[in-house]
Amino acid sequence: MVSVEHLRKSYRGRAVLRDVSFRAARGQVTCLSAPSGGGKTTLFRILLGLESPDAGRVVLPERCRWSVVFQEDRLLLSRDARCNLRFVLGGAYDEAAAAALLDELGLADAGAMPVRDYSGGMRRRLALARALLTPSDVLILDEPFTGVDADARGRCLDALRRLGAGRVVLLATHDAVALDAQIVPLT
């Protein structure tokens, strides 16, 4: 379980997070709801230890393993999909699992094409595949479906439901209803 208790964060006197509290359990998708600039990414950065809150606290499982889809894809542009997965997964890379997920997400036809030649939606799907295949306790997904068309988004949601089971899933998206998610308003 991930517990956020009375979290506050301001930048130059402007409050971004105001007394945010919630609990996110394994096997449940928790969706952060806020308008653009409403603190979703800031909250994720605090959870990951990249920023400190002004007040409040975060309680995490011991030895918590994270997997993240950032707003930026953070992919190796000169490499193909499988190389991107191998780079991140290292010894946890499973060729059959990678091939199956790439096929499920509609990326099997990309073959040996370098990621720089992918569309924005293809890059988002690869970033999601990387996060879903990474052994982790908590998945943080910051707008993982941006630029993904409706058909591919459905495949991504199906893969997230299946591969996110048993993990804490924290998500910033407008697809919360499709995932039967717990909604946490930040403002």
Encode pLDDT of 87-99 as tens digits: 999 999 999 999 9
Domains of the chain: 26-49+64-181 (3.40.50.300)
Contact yes or no for 105/125 (Cβ under 8 A):
yes
Q: What is the pLDDT of residue 185?
A: 86
Nearby residues of 95 by Cβ (< 8 Å), 6 or more positions away: 82
Residue 187 confidence class, pLDDT cut points 50, 70, 90: confident
> DSSP label at 30?
E
Tokens of residue 84, six digits? 């991107």
Q: Which of 75-79, 100-104, 144-148 has the lowest mean pLDDT?
A: 144-148
The average pLDDT across 43-68 equals: 95
pLDDT tens sequence across 99-126 = 999 999 999 988 789 999 999 999 999 9
The average pLDDT across 128-145 equals: 95
Say if residue 168 is exposed, middle or buried (CB neighbours under 10 Å; 0-12, 13-18, 19+): buried
Nearby residues of 39 by Cβ (< 8 Å), 6 or more positions away: 9, 16, 17, 20, 186, 187
